[in-house]
Amino acid sequence: MKSFLIVGLGRFGASLAQELCEQGHEVLALDVLPERVQAVADHVTHAVVGDARDPEVLSGVGARNFDCAVVAAGSDVGTSALITLNLKELNGPRVVGKANSSVHRKVLEKIGADLVVFPEQEMALSLARRLINGDIVNFIELSNEYSIVERTLPESWVGKSILDLNIRAKWKLTVIAVRRGDAMTIAPGGDFVFQSPEDCLVVLGRNSDIERLERA
């Protein structure tokens, strides 16, 4: 179990706080607006009203003792930058910042955020890929070049093994797992045989190679 401090309880922050708590982790949710804190109070470990722009508020909730702090507060660069700076000066948790633009991202990175995310952009990219190709079940972008994709099995692959298909050499993709119903086979060997069009393939590779597979 890990401990998380979520600062800012808008749609993103509140959803993240609840999901982390549902996954069994300790979550302290912090926001300057009492109504937001009250809305998540029954769904997280602790919920506190406070202004994270004040270093004393962060010290008061024991921010330095958390494994990770997520700054989801404020749509303006100044607010999230100040909160990020306050957290970094505590020399405590890993700090993740939510950005709304490339400028916002650069500011948070300069201040020292360990990770900066674009939730709306990442969701849009994932949805776009799923809408363009109905074979894609899930999509995780690791970088501008590489992604992990879960997709339905090409029909021509049914009855063939990973070795028969020569996936790594021909497609330049790594098969991470295969999901068959509720069963998941992790890192299947070359002798693994795909048995049904309903098998789901989880692969890692360059986006260009993944797109090539989508046309298989």
At residue 13, the pLDDT reads: 92
At residue 126, the pLDDT reads: 54
CB 96 within 8 A of CB 71: yes
Q: What is the mean pLDDT of residues 62-71?
A: 95
Q: What is the mean pLDDT of residues 86-98?
A: 93
Locate the DSSP E strands across 107-196: 115-117, 136-141, 146-152, 173-180, 183-186
Cβ neighbours of 164 (radius 10 Å): 13
Q: What is the pLDDT of residues 204-214, one digit of tens each?
A: 888 888 878 76
At residue 123, the pLDDT reads: 58
Q: What is the pLDDT of residues 110-157, one digit of tens each?
A: 999 999 887 765 655 554 555 444 454 565 666 767 788 888 888 889
Alpha helices in the chain (DSSP H): 11-22, 34-40, 55-60, 77-89, 102-111, 119-132, 162-165, 207-214
DSSP 60-84: HTTGGGSSEEEE---SSHHHHHHHH
Q: What is the pLDDT of residues 155-196, one digit of tens each?
A: 889 999 999 999 988 989 999 889 888 888 898 999 999 988
Residue 133 CB burial class (10 angstroms; 0-12, 13-18, ≥19): middle
Query: Pick from 36, 27, 33: which is nearest to 3 by CA?
Result: 27
Distance CA 98, CA 13 (A): 9
Q: What is the pLDDT of residues 95-117, one digit of tens each?
A: 999 988 888 989 999 999 999 88
Within 8 A by CB and 6+ apart from 4, the residues are 17, 20, 25, 26, 27, 28, 66, 67, 68, 69, 70
Cβ neighbours of 1 (radius 10 Å): 7
Describe the strand order of the beta sheet including 183-186 as a list of residue ranges. Answer: 136-141, 146-152, 200-206, 173-180, 183-186
- Residue of higher predicted confidence among 12 and 46: 46
At residue 101, the pLDDT reads: 82
Inform me whether the pLDDT recorded for 79 exceeds 90. yes
CB 115 within 8 A of CB 94: yes
Coil, strand or helix: which one is 49? Answer: strand
At residue 155, the pLDDT reads: 86
Inform me whether the pLDDT recorded for 75 exceeds 80. no
